[in-house]
Amino acid sequence: MVEPGKVIDLRTRSTYQPDCATLARNRLLLARKSLGLTHAEFADMLTPMVGWPVSPDAVEAWETSLVPPGDVLIAVSTVTPAAADRAGIRSHKFIAAYVGQPAAEKLAEPGQPASADHPTLLADHPSGECRLHIWPYGVAIFHLVEDLDMPNLAHMAVWRYQSYERDLDWATQQLRHLTGRAEVAASYVLSLYWLHSPTWVGQMLDTALRIICAPRILVDRDQAGSDTCLATAEQAEQVLLAEGFHHHEMRSFGLAGVSLGYASWSGVAYHPLDQARCLAEEELVDCELATQAAWAYCEYINDQVENGHDPAIPDGYGWRFLRATRSRLTNPRPRETGQHRSMRDAIVETSGIAGHLDQAIEALREAGNP
């Protein structure tokens, strides 16, 4: 659900230069942490490599306030594990479509495995594990999981931009083949990113997760198909990582010392800091599935209204059903944890589903669809 008005145009920042000092400090801090060394141990390791005595205090200063010397940075680059130079991200794409109740019943044949309150089908996607979730009121959502190993955020942003159209086309063809309906089409892709292996630390890690939550900000729409697209995205990434990135429509749902989490109109990004206390990956996935299923159904209803028609909906899924759906999405559960509530609230608020539901409920009430 990418809304052009919500995309930040970075062309106005083309004259900015990255803060190399901040990037160098982050590089040193990341190297020490990836090796699992204390300041003293890291200083002992660097001393013979640079040929002069390195103190623990100097290491700490280079990580926080001073600029690390060039020979130190070169030494660091030779000992940092290769994996520390690439970010490990698990991408969850939710590709949604309204197929209609008859098609949903055809897809959800008896004996299909169920996920919560709806059946699922395995789908053969060329780049990852994929399941098709089917709701009885006519919504179908492909949940595609892809493991990414990216050298920087710019590569991820360009990959995301380019893969969305391919995945929409693929989902549309799959649904038309499965339902036998030529008019069926996937309408949008919403992404959730689980950052399990970061290449940033401290404040820069927080900034990186904000960018992952809305990676479109790195892609210049006028250059999206050109050879310079990646280079422009890399320049924008360096600027934002050094200067910080904040957007007034992005919501945080992380917990200090436990996790970092952000939700926006473009998607959701989460990084577990404490595996024992953080949210489970499945919790975020289940919340997004419920939100996007409601969104796709409301999109169908509201599109009919905008086209001048009274909504045609399946029996039992009128305004009372949507009222119950709104309650399930927005009201806290008795045994719900604070982390889960914060996550749900952030996703619901940034998705705009509450307003979408209100419009659909009003339309169904006016049309006499209980």
The beta-strand segments (E) located in the chain are 87-98, 114-115, 118-125, 128-134, 139-150, 188-197, 251-252, 259-263, 267-272
C-alpha 349/C-alpha 130 separation (Å) is 27
Model pLDDT for residues 114-129, shown as the tens digit of each residue: 555 789 999 999 888 9
Domain ranges of the chain: 10-84, 86-276, 283-367
CB 177 within 8 A of CB 270: no
What lies within 8 Å, CB to CB, of 366 at 6+ separation is none
> What's the token pair of residue 215?
């990676």
Model pLDDT for residues 18-75, shown as the tens digit of each residue: 456 776 887 788 788 778 889 999 999 999 999 999 999 999 999 888 999 999 988 8
311 three-state secondary structure? coil
Q: Which residue matches tokens 């008019």? A: 183
From 185-199, 218-232, 311-325, 343-357, the region with the lowest mean pLDDT: 218-232
Model pLDDT for residues 301-346, shown as the tens digit of each residue: 999 999 999 888 999 999 999 999 999 999 988 888 999 999 999 9
Q: What is the percent of the chain with per-residue pLDDT over 90, rounded to a whole number?
A: 64
292 three-state secondary structure? helix
Task: For the full predicted model, state whether its pTM sits above 0.85.
Answer: no
> What's the token pair of residue 97?
């479509």
What lies within 8 Å, CB to CB, of 224 at 6+ separation is 161, 162
CATH code for the domain defined by 10-84: 1.10.260
> What's the token pair of residue 264?
């926006």
Secondary structure tally for the chain: helices H, strands E:
12, 9
